[in-house]
Amino acid sequence: MSESDRLRGTDLTLGYDGRTVATGLSIDVPDGSFTVIVGPNACGKSTLLRSLARVLRPKSGTVLLDGRDIATRPAKEVARHLGLLAQTAIAPDGITVADLVSRGRYPHRGPLSSWAPADEAALKWAMDATSVTELANAYVDELSGGQRQRVWIAMVLAQQTPLLLLDEPTTYLDIAHQIDILELCASLHRDHGRTLVAVLHELNLAARYATHLVAMRDGRILAEGPPSQVVTEPMMEQVFTLPCRVIPDPETGTALVIPRKRAA
Q: Give the rounded distance of the alpha carbon of 143 from its chain centre.
A: 22
Q: What is the mean pLDDT of residues 164-192?
A: 89
Reply yes or no on whether the pLDDT at 104 is more than 50. Answer: yes
Reply yes or no on whether the pLDDT at 180 is more than 70. Answer: yes
pLDDT of residue 264: 57
Residue type, 238: Q
The verdict on pTM exceeding 0.85 is yes
What DSSP state is assigned to residue 1?
A: -
Cα Rg of the chain, angstroms: 19
pLDDT of residue 263: 67
Helix (H, G, I), strand (E, B) or coil at 164: strand
What are the pLDDT digits (tens) for 125-154? 999 988 899 999 999 999 988 888 889 989
Please choose, from the candidates 36, 32, 34, 29, the residue with its C-alpha nearest in 3D space to the C-alpha of residue 202: 36
CA dist 264 and 262 (Å) reads 6
Using pLDDT thresholds of 50, 70 and 90, give the confidence band for residue 54. very high
Please choose, from the candidates 82, 68, 62, 46, the residue with its C-alpha nearest in 3D space to the C-alpha of residue 13: 62
CA dist 103 and 97 (Å) reads 10
What are the pLDDT digits (tens) for 1-33? 344 448 999 999 999 888 899 999 999 999 999
Q: What is the mean pLDDT of residues 218-246?
A: 96
CA dist 16 and 156 (Å) reads 26
The DSSP bridge partners found for residue 139 are: 96
CA dist 256 and 208 (Å) reads 8
Reply yes or no on whether the pLDDT at 164 is more than 80. Answer: yes
Residue type, 85: L
CA dist 261 and 251 (Å) reads 24
